[in-house]
Amino acid sequence: MRLGEKHWRQGGSGGRPPKFRASGFWRRARMGVVCLLPLLAAACSAMDAPAPSSAGAAPAAAPRTTGGTPAGTERKHLIALFGGEYSAPTTERYLNEILTRLAPATQTPSETYRVTILNSPIVNAFALPSGDIFVTRGLLALANDSSEIAAVMAHEIAHVTAQHAAKRAEKEKTAALFARVSTAVLDRPDEGQEQEARGRLGLAQFSRQQEFEADQIGIKTIGQAGYDPFAASRFLSSLGRWTAMRASLLGENANAGKPDMMSTHPSTPERIAQAVVEARQIGAPGVGDSGRDAYLSAISGLSFGDDPSEGLVRGPRFVHPKLGFSFAAPEGFVLENQSVALIGVGEGGAQALRLDSVNVDPSTALETTIASGWIDGLKTASVETLKIDDLQAATAVAQGDQWSFRLGAVRMGPKVYRLIFAARSLTPAVDARFRASINSFHRLSAQEAASAHPLRVEIVEAGASDTPETMGKRMAIADRPVEQFLLLNGLEKDAALRPGARYKIVVE
């Protein structure tokens, strides 16, 4: 959460804080990791979890150059969007070796590819026409062997070689033209809306077809390069399980098996089935190189989860060393550190919270700030001032149609940190928990700041008595540690561990 650099905006102007509506706040709070950052037109998302359309599409025919050219600008923009580059020379060298092996099997065998690791816990990968391949460290942690990461990169390369971005851009222009002609030229607004809806459906289907095509090309590529062609289906399975688990933690009723006709990508089960069919065209299970041990060695020590510069989630606690504060969410809340805010969900989705910040003139009283229109339904009589340690603070209550809110404002330096709690029913007991969370906000001590380290991936050998449960106890993760251990290692529930085999765990 880059609270010190970027603030959430919705409505309003200038320095006035945006308003939150009950329905809008809840929708944003529930999106979690299912809602990924906007993607460039030439890229796709982690073979590909559903994502919103690009906010800044690249030119349809971006030149294959770098530096001060459009391709170089696009590369810099992408790196900035995903937390900058992550320095891991051993891992990067190993991934480039995989690309060197893949290149002769691609549709552009003379192309030179290079990998950049992005400092983001989000599971994502991209490719640009310049030959740049991007993978997040979140994706590297989820993949289980060399063939799986080869499948991801081959899929992204396939999007570029098949010119999917250019084809989609052309189809978008055609659909928009038809809708505009019906509305403006022929003066048929109803027909224009129908054309627009038809165009969206056509684009969704077109994108789905592109994903299947990239899967097909990518699987053929890794098979020709000597990798296990079934790796694509294995990774897609892990991706689907990971997305469903994160959605479940954040109170979503995610059902990965229920296809969405307006989804920009095929449902994961559908893609897994197609990937298995494609792999069987190459050979039976067991054909090709998986390279598990070499891959695990290459990612050993990789950072996992949030970067300290953007704040760290540790169970119900949130610590931000760069901005110098910490607070504790109510017990049982699951926190998600997003790019411009911290969100949390508790009580099975019946409660939520959001933390962000705004710049407020020091001469403006906090009572004025908290009553200035953050959220509809504020009860002005409920506004009161507080002192939290040495920090000025204020709190108030607001009532929406379906949700009740406890608001908190804490001034620290030039910023006011805003804590917004939502509940279906703001009973005295629930309100007391929310107020206790507001009161936990404090400046970081030197000791707290020094101890705020990122988690990391560690590779361990299973002993004769080890089980997923014993490994789960070694995981420095508060939420469903056993389930996350199984997911990170591509294991099913009740799986037996092989003594001497190597597995990923997450440690301090």
Instruction: Give whichever of 42-46, 115-119, 172-176 has the largest mean pLDDT.
Output: 115-119
Q: Is 488 exposed, middle or buried (0-12, 13-18, 19+ CB in 10 A)?
A: buried
Q: What is the dihedral of CA 475, 343, 329, 334, to 10 degrees?
A: -40
Residue 348 identity (one-letter amino acid): G
The whole-number pLDDT of residue 210 equals 77
The helix (H) or strand (E) run that includes residue 357 is: strand 351-359
CA distance to 50, 93, 487, per residue, from 78 (Å): 18, 21, 28
Q: Is 406 exposed, middle or buried (0-12, 13-18, 19+ CB in 10 A)?
A: buried
Secondary structure of residue 35 in the 3-state scheme = coil
Structure tokens at 410: 């804490």
What is the C-alpha separation between 145 and 489, in angstroms, rounded?
10
Strands 114-118 and 404-412: unpaired
Instruction: Give whichever of 185-199, 263-277, 357-371 has the largest mean pLDDT.
Output: 357-371
Structure tokens at 272: 């897994």
- In Å, how far from its chain's centre is CA 244? 13
What is the C-alpha separation between 91 and 112, in angstroms, rounded?
18
**What region does 169 belong to: left with phi over 0, alpha with psi -120 to 50, or beta?**
alpha
Q: Provide the residue ranges of all domains of the chain, joining segments of one domain with +.
A: 35-304, 313-434, 455-507
CB-CB contact of 169 with 182 (8 Å): no
Q: Which one has a higher pLDDT value, 300 or 206?
A: 300
Residue 62 pLDDT exceeds 60: no
Cis peptide before 389 (omega within 30 of 0): no
What is the C-alpha separation between 117 and 79, in angstroms, rounded?
9
Q: Which of 453, 491, 454 is nearest to 472 (CA)?
A: 491
Percent of the residues in the chain that have a pLDDT greater than 70, as a whole number: 74
- In Å, how far from its chain's centre is CA 468? 26
The helix (H) or strand (E) run that includes residue 126 is: strand 125-127
**Radius of gyration of the CA atoms of the chain, in A:** 24
Q: Band the pLDDT of 504: cuts 50, 70, 90.
A: very high
CB-CB contact of 424 with 406 (8 Å): no
Instruction: Give whichever of 125-134, 139-148, 248-257, 376-385 has the largest mean pLDDT.
Output: 139-148
**Which of 63-67, 174-178, 223-227 is least confident?**
63-67
The whole-number pLDDT of residue 57 equals 31
Residue 52 pLDDT exceeds 70: no
Q: Which of 474, 486, 479 is nearest to 316 (CA)?
A: 479
pLDDT tens-digit map of 15-32: 333 344 444 443 433 332
The whole-number pLDDT of residue 1 equals 62
Secondary structure of residue 391 in the 3-state scheme = strand
Q: Which of 349, 355, 319 is nearest to 334 (CA)?
A: 349
The whole-number pLDDT of residue 159 equals 87
The residue ranges of DSSP E strands in 424-454, in sequence order, are 442-443
pLDDT tens-digit map of 357-381: 999 999 999 999 998 888 889 999 9
Q: What is the mean pLDDT of residues 446-452?
A: 86
The helix (H) or strand (E) run that includes residue 366 is: helix 366-370
Within 13 Å and on the Cβ side, how many CA atoms surround 90? 9
Please provide the average confidence, as pLDDT, over all residues in the chain.
79
The whole-number pLDDT of residue 267 equals 61
Domain 455-507: CATH class, spelled out: alpha beta
What is the C-alpha separation between 15 and 46, in angstroms, rounded?
37
What is the C-alpha separation between 400 and 103, in angstroms, rounded?
56
**Which of 74-78, 185-189, 237-241, 327-331 is least confident?**
185-189
Instruction: Give whichever of 105-109, 215-219, 334-338, 456-460 has the largest mean pLDDT.
Output: 456-460
What is the C-alpha separation between 215 and 220, in angstroms, rounded?
9
Q: Band the pLDDT of 51: cuts 50, 70, 90.
A: very low
Query: What are the beta bridge partners of residue 409?
Result: 394, 418
**Which of 165-169, 196-200, 488-492 is least confident?**
196-200
The domain at 313-434 falls in which architecture? 3-Layer(aba) Sandwich (3.40)
Q: What is the dihedral of CA 36, 484, 284, 226, to 10 degrees?
A: 60
What is the C-alpha separation between 354 and 28, in angstroms, rounded?
9
DSSP state of 122: S
Q: Whole-prediction pTM value?
A: 0.74
Q: Band the pLDDT of 446: cuts 50, 70, 90.
A: confident
Block residue for tokens 């897994």:
272
The whole-number pLDDT of residue 35 equals 25
Structure tokens at 449: 């700041």
Helix H, strand E, coil C: the string for 166-218 is HHHHHHHHHHHHHHHHHHHHCCCHHHHHHHHHHHHHHHHHHHHHHHHHHHHHH
Residue 296 pLDDT exceeds 90: yes
The whole-number pLDDT of residue 254 equals 37
- Provide the edge-to-edge strand list for the sheet that holds 325-328: 312-314, 317-320, 325-328, 442-443
